Each structure stands twice: as structure tokens, then as C-alpha cells.
Amino acid sequence: MKDVEIFEHPSFGIVGFSRIDGHTRLFSSDLLHGNFIQLEIKTAKLHRHLCQDQIYSKNKIIEVWLSEAQFVSLISTMNVGDGVPCTIKWEPTNGEVDEPPIKESESETSRHEFKEWFSGIEKELREAASQMQMILDSGKAPTKMQTKELIRLTVNIAKVFKNNAVFANDQFSRAVEKTVSHAKAEIEAFVNNYAHRTGIEQLKSNPVKQLSNEDL
């Protein structure tokens, strides 16, 4: 028989998904994940031997991790935006990459931003109240310019509150809903995966009987 023929080319590659168990943080997720999806892309070579092709991996190009929800979104929302967030775990320049830094959840960030916004409104209200108190303490009727300034401050405060209060509240509610939605997606994916694996193991231990002609 002919010896093994090896074919190599820069375009040859292998891509694979694996489901991994282990606690980790993932980019663009507020949850601590107990399982996730690993994507690896490697270069490849082709061996021709005994009248068949065999493909082997060579060097790893990149490794990324995705949450269950991110993985579902990746395969179900093609051609939408730039893509789905993922966590780069290995790349050729720096090798192994550390976990994403700990950051507060999106809902907590929105809550703090909401609080800062209200602090700004409170500051403007205090400024208007201070000017009113100065006029009262002077014992004189406010001038036309002072009256206009107080009206301007009051109208500005009312306008800012009207324009931004609903928006800020909607953003906070959206952040909370997003976290809850992601958590539900992770739980659902885990349950489906567990049921799938349990079903496969059950089939292995109790294989379905293949019908014969006599059974028909």
C-alpha cells in the first residue's frame, strides 16, 4: 500500500463546540456560570491513507467561551448586528486570558446612575430655593430679573424631570428584565441539556428494540 500522503494549506481548519462544567464569569453576563459552551478553532492537515481521508488538528488559533444563552443567540440570530458577546479564553499572542474583571450588574449600574441623576435635580432645586430665600430675607419685592431667573430655573428643572425621569426608569426596568431573561435562558438551556444527556444515557442502558419482520 502507498504511504500516507499529507496535505497542508493555510485554509485548512477545524472548528468545534464543547459543553464545559465549571464555575466562571463571562463577558456581558451578570451571572456566575456553572456550565458554558467552548468554541475552538484550529489549523488542520489532511492525511490520505488506505483509500480514505483523515483530518487532524494542528495548532489552536483561538478559544472562546459562551454562556448557554449567548450560544443559542449565536446560532439563531445570524446577520444581526456585529454578533454575540463572547469571552476570549485563549489567543495566539498572549496565550491564556484571565477571566473578565468583576463588575457590578447592569441593574446596579442603572440604579446608581438613576441616583446620581436625582442628586443633580436636588442640587438645582436647592439652588432655586436658596435664591428664593435670599429674596425673602432682603425684605424687598423681587426684581423683574430675579423673577425671570427663578422662573427659568423652575421651568428647566420641570423640563429635565419630565424628559428624563421616564427614560431613566425605563432603562432601569430594562436592565432588570434583561438580567432575569438571561437567567431564565441559562436555566432553560441547562435543563434541556440535562434532559438530553439523561435521555441518551437512558437509551444506552435500555436500547430500543429493533422491530423485525415477525413483529410487523
Statement to judge: residues 147 and 165 lie in one domain: yes
pTM over 0.85: no
The reply to whether 52 falls in a domain is yes
Of 50, 75, 96, the residue at which a domain comes to its end is 96
Residue 216 lies in a domain: no
pLDDT, one tens digit per residue, over 183-214 is 666 666 666 666 666 765 665 566 545 444 45
Write down which residue in 96, 126, 141 finishes a domain: 96
Residue 136 included in any domain: yes
Q: Are residues 74 and 118 in the same domain?
A: no
Neighbours of 26 (CB within 10 A): 23
Residue 101 lies in a domain: no
Same domain, yes or no: 131 and 91:
no
Instruction: Indicate if 90 and 119 belong to the same structural domain.
Output: no
Residue 16 has pLDDT above 80, yes or no: yes
Section 3-7 average pLDDT: 91
Q: What is the mean pLDDT of residues 25-39?
A: 88
pLDDT tens digit sequence for 37-73:
999 999 999 999 888 999 999 999 999 999 988 998 8
Distance CA 106, CA 87 (A): 17
Q: Determine the pLDDT at residue 193.
A: 66
DSSP reduced 3-state for 98: coil
Domain count, the chain: 2
Whether 62 contacts 95, CB under 8 Å: no
Q: Hey, what amino acid is at 209?
A: K
- b or e along 116-125 (b: 16 or more beta carbons within 10 Å of the residue's beta carbon)? ebeeeeeeee
> What pLDDT is attached to residue 201?
62
Asked whether residue 166 falls in the same domain as residue 186, the answer is yes
- State the pLDDT at residue 7: 95
Where residue 28 falls among pLDDT bands split at 50, 70, 90?
confident
Report the chain's mean pLDDT, rounded to a whole number. 79
Question: Hey, what's the cell of 135?
Answer: 429674596
Domain extent for 178:
106-204
Condensed to tens digits (0 to 9), the pLDDT of residues 65-116 reads: 999 889 988 988 888 889 999 999 999 999 999 999 877 666 677 677 777 7
Proportion of the chain above pLDDT 70, given as a percent: 69
Residue 210 resides in a domain? no
The more confidently predicted of residues 215 and 88 is: 88
**What is residue 182's predicted lDDT score, i.e. its pLDDT?**
65
